Amino acid sequence: MSGAPGQGAPVDAGAAGETRFVDTYLLYLLARASSVASAEFHEEVRARGVPVTVWRILASLKGTAGLTVGDLARSCLANQPAISKMVDKLVIRGLLSRQTDGDDRRRVWVRLTETGEAEVDGLIAAAERHQARLLEAIGPGEAEVLKRALTLLIEHAAPDP
């Protein structure tokens, strides 16, 4: 008696008539693009035993002389408490160091240790290889168009605080 839904064939995921609101919704398109473009590389990162959040923390610090906890959180697109806790663990694991600022003792500088540098260097090399493949797949011209449009969007959507 448990009939099939709607008697006729119900929708499958998105094969037929895409009349859903979300399919024309810019924020969804953005989220989806980010998700699918990152999926493959994030898989590779996890396969190396590195959670994506950790990758973001390490990558954000690379090329800096250290970031405060708050700036690090913003760079990781994450909340401050989440980063605070994750930094704890990475300090324990020897990848990061913490140091209270000398002038303003509320602030805490987070830096890569030698071990952390080595770890992130390998990850960045992998990221660059992946990005090269991705850019080749979509074409360099298209990549430039995309980057420019994204930058413009970021500027318009997020006025500097």
Partner DNA sequence: CCTAAAAATATTCCTTTTCATATAATAACG
Partner DNA sequence: CGTTATTATATGAAAAGGAATATTTTTAGG
Which CB sits closer to DNA, 68 or 135? 68
Minimum distance between the CB of residue 18 and DNA, rounded to whole angstroms? 20
**110: enclosing H helix or E strand:** strand 108-112
- Residue 15 interaction partner, one of a copy of itself, DNA, none, beta carbon < 5-8 Å per kind: a copy of itself
User: What are the b/e assignments for 67-105, b being 16+ CB within 10 Å?
Assistant: bebebbbbbbebeeeebeebbeebeeeebbbeeeeeeee
Phi/psi for 123 (5° steps) reads -65, -40
- Residue 125 interaction partner, one of a copy of itself, DNA, none, beta carbon < 5-8 Å per kind: none
Restricted to residues 70-109, the positions that interact with a copy of itself (CB under 8 A) are 71-75, 77-79, 99-103, 109
Pair 120, 59: CB distance under 8 Å: yes
- Residue 28 interaction partner, one of DNA, a copy of itself, none, beta carbon < 5-8 Å per kind: a copy of itself
Count the Cβ atoms, other than its own, within 10 Å of residue 135: 15
Q: Does 119 bind a copy of itself (CB under 8 A)?
A: no
- Residue 86 interaction partner, one of DNA, a copy of itself, none, beta carbon < 5-8 Å per kind: DNA
The amino acid sitting at 143 is A
**Binding stretches for DNA (CB under 7 A):** 2-3, 5, 46, 51, 53, 68-71, 78-82, 84-89, 98, 103-108
